[in-house]
Amino acid sequence: MVHQQQLRISTRGRGTFDISRQVDEVIHDSGVKQGICQVFIHHTSASLILCENADPTVRTDLETFMKKIAPDGDSMFRHIDEGPDDMPAHVRTVLTQSSLSIPVDNGKDTLGTWQGIYLWEHRTHPHTRKITVTVMGE
């Protein structure tokens, strides 16, 4: 059985947004009890991560880490048509994930207690991001 659904997530600019609940709703709607759930983001300046969800400081620290390794306005970047955050957003996307695969069991995602699925917006301005969730199994 295959069930596919698209999500549109509005971001408020750079930062992480928990989409675990929305993904779990798609799994529930699919009727699949056991299988795999694939989450895919249709952008090259926003990405997906699985991250610890207990302490928000973890995500703040990830943001700090990315700022350090791919700083906005770095003179090495020439792809800056849309601003100093343009090329760093592409680099951050390549360093993280465009697609995640999660096991489904008992009609639910099998994320660990402290794992959350996050959309990571890398552009400084708000965007609406498209995500496709595909649930396969029986």
Query: DSSP class of residue 13?
Result: S
* 7 close to 84: Cβ distance less than 8 angstroms: no
Which residue, 10 or 57, is less far from other proteins as judged by CB?
A: 10
Which residue, 44 or 64, is less far from other proteins as judged by CB?
A: 44
Alpha-carbon distance values, 113 to 11, 32, 46, 54 (Å): 25, 21, 25, 9
Q: C-alpha angle 129/130/131, rounded to 5°?
A: 120
Query: Of 57-116, which residues contact other proteins (CB under 8 A)?
Result: 69-70, 76-79, 81, 87, 90-91, 93-95, 98-99, 101
Which residue, 16 or 93, is less far from other proteins as judged by CB?
A: 93
Nearest Cα to 42, choosing from 69, 18, 7?
A: 7
Which residue, 44 or 60, is less far from other proteins as judged by CB?
A: 44
Query: What tokens appear for 13 in the block?
Result: 């600019």
CB of 81 to other proteins, least distance (A): 7
The answer to whether 45 contacts other proteins (rule: CB under 8 A) is yes
* Site residues, other proteins (CB under 8 A): 2, 4, 36, 38, 40-45, 69-70, 76-79, 81, 87, 90-91, 93-95, 98-99, 101, 130, 132, 134, 136
